[in-house]
C-alpha cells in the first residue's frame, strides 16, 4: 500500500465520512466495470452498492496484504459471482464448455483453411465505438464459464497481474493462462461472427 | 517453422509479453511471412486492448449520483445501528 492509501484506510477504519466519500468516488468506477462484466449492467449498481455496505461494516478485516483496490475488486467479483449463482435455474446461463482451441480454423498441417475475416473495426477505439458489438461482448461474457470470465475480467478489464489473479482465484499460473487464452479466443470467434453476419 | 495454428495458440503469451526470446523470434518471422496470422494477431491485439479501455471509459464516466446513492445508504446503515456506536467523529 502506498502512503496515500494507508491514510485512506485509516480514515475508513475510524469511520470517517470523508474517507468513505473519497473511497466511493475513487474506486466505484472500476468496481462497476467488474460487476457489469460478471453480472450484467442491470445488476451492477446494486452489487457495488451492497459491497460498499459490507466494506463499511468490515473494513477491519482488510489486512493490507493486497492493495485496497485489489481487495475491493475481489469482494465485487465474489459478490457478482454469487449473485449469478443465486438466480433461478431458468434464467441461468447454459454451462456449455465449447471447444475454444480454434482447431476448426486450420487444416491438418496447421494452416488457415480460410483467411480470418477482415474486421471493419480493427483498432481498439473503433471496437469500443461499435455499440452493438460492445453489447454483444457483454452478452458473451455472461455466457462464458465462470472460470474463463473471471480471469478475463481481472486481467483484460481490470489489468491485474498474473500473480494477483492466481492469488484471488486460487489458480496456478499455467491454469490462469489457459483460461485467459480460451476466453479471449471465445471473444475472437464472437467478433468474427459479428463482423461476418452483423448480428450477435 | 511454426504453423499458423501454433502461432494463434501463442497469441495470448504474445500480447502479454510472456514469450521467451526464441519463441518471440519464431513468431515474428512467421508473422513477417504470413498475411493471415498477421491479420489475426492485429485483430487479437485490438480486441484485448479494447477490453482495457472499457475500464478506463467507465472510470471517466462515474456519475456523482451513484456516489451520492452509496453515501445515502451508508448513512442509513449507520443510523440503523448495525455499526457499533462511537466510531464516527474522530
Ligand atoms: Zn500463419
Sorted by sequence, the CB contacts under 8 Å of residue B56 that are 6+ apart come out as: none
**Which of the four pLDDT bands, split at 50, 70 and 90, describes residue B13?**
very high
Residue B10 inside a domain? The answer is yes
User: Which residues sit opposite A106 in a β-bridge?
Assistant: A112
Q: Containing domain of residue A40, as a range? A: 3-86
- Does residue A103 belong to any structural domain of this protein? no
Tell me the whole-structure pTM to 2 decimals.
Answer: 0.72
Number of domains, chain A: 2
Assess if residue A37 is contained within a domain. Answer: yes
Contact B5 A125 (CB under 8 A): no
Band (pLDDT 50/70/90 cuts) for residue B27 is very high
Q: What is the pLDDT, as a whole number, of residue A94?
A: 45
Which pLDDT score is estimated for B17? 93
pLDDT tens over chain A, length 200 residues: 677 888 899 999 988 889 999 999 989 988 888 888 777 777 889 999 999 999 988 888 888 887 888 889 889 988 887 887 776 543 434 444 455 567 789 999 999 999 999 998 888 888 888 888 988 988 888 888 888 888 998 899 888 889 888 887 888 999 999 999 999 999 999 999 999 998 99
Within a domain: B30: yes
Whose cell is 445515502? That residue is B72
**Helix or strand run (H / E) with residue A54:** helix A41-58
Q: Given B5, B9, B74, which is nearest A53 (Cβ)?
A: B74
DSSP bridge pairs for A47? none
User: Do A128 and A71 belong to one domain?
Assistant: no
Tell whether the model's pLDDT for residue B58 goes beyond 70.
Answer: no
Residues of the domain holding B45: 4-80
Find out whether A180 and B48 touch, Cβ atoms under 8 Å.
Answer: no
Q: Mean pLDDT throughout B13-18?
A: 94
Domain count, chain B: 1
* Torsional sign, CA B77, B79, B84, B86: positive
For A102, which DSSP code? -
CA nearest B6 in A: which residue? A110
* Residue B29, min C-alpha distance to chain A (Å): 16
Element spanning A83, H or E = helix A68-86
Q: What is the pLDDT of residue A147?
A: 85
Residue B86 lies in a domain: no
| pLDDT band of B40, cuts 50, 70, 90 | very high
Between chains, do B70 and A48 touch, taking CB under 8 Å as contact?
Answer: yes
The percentage of chain B sitting over the pLDDT mark of 70, rounded to a whole number, equals 80
More confident call, A3 vs B67: B67
Amino acid at each position: 500500500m502506498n502512503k496515500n492509501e494507508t491514510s485512506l484506510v485509516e480514515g475508513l477504519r475510524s469511520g470517517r465520512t470523508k474517507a468513505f466519500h473519497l473511497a466511493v468516488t475513487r474506486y466505484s468506477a472500476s468496481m462497476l466495470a467488474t460487476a457489469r462484466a460478471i453480472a450484467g449492467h442491470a445488476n451492477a449498481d446494486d452489487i457495488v452498492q451492497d459491497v460498499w455496505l459490507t466494506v463499511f461494516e468490515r473494513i477491519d478485516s482488510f489486512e493490507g496484504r493486497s492493495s485496497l483496490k485489489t481487495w475491493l475488486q475481489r469482494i465485487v467479483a465474489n459478490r457478482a459471482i454469487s449473485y449469478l449463482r443465486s438466480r433461478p435455474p431458468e434464467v441461468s446461463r447454459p454451462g456449455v464448455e465449447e471447444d475454444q482451441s480454434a482447431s476448426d480454423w486450420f487444416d491438418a498441417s496447421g494452416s488457415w483453411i480460410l483467411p480470418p475475416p477482415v474486421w471493419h473495426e480493427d483498432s481498439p477505439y473503433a471496437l469500443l465505438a461499435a455499440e452493438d458489438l460492445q453489447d454483444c461482448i457483454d452478452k458473451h461474457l455472461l455466457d462464458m464459464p465462470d472460470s474463463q470470465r473471471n480471469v478475463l475480467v481481472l486481467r483484460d478489464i481490470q489489468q491485474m497481474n498474473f500473480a494477483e489473479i492466481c492469488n484471488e482465484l486460487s489458480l496456478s499460473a499455467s491454469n490462469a493462462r489457459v483460461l485467459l487464452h480460451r476466453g479471449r479466443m471465445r471473444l475472437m470467434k464472437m467478433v468474427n461472427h459479428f463482423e461476418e453476419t452483423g448480428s450477435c | 517453422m511454426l504453423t499458423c495454428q501454433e502461432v494463434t495458440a501463442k497469441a495470448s503469451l504474445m500480447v502479454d509479453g510472456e514469450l521467451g526470446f526464441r519463441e518471440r523470434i519464431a513468431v515474428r518471422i512467421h508473422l513477417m511471412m504470413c498475411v493471415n496470422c498477421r491479420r489475426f494477431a492485429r485483430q487479437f491485439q485490438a480486441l484485448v486492448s479494447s477490453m482495457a479501455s472499457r475500464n478506463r471509459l467507465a472510470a471517466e464516466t462515474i456519475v456523482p449520483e451513484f456516489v451520492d446513492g452509496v453515501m445515502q445508504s451508508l448513512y442509513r446503515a449507520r443510523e440503523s445501528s448495525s455499526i457499533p456506536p462511537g466510531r464516527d467523529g474522530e
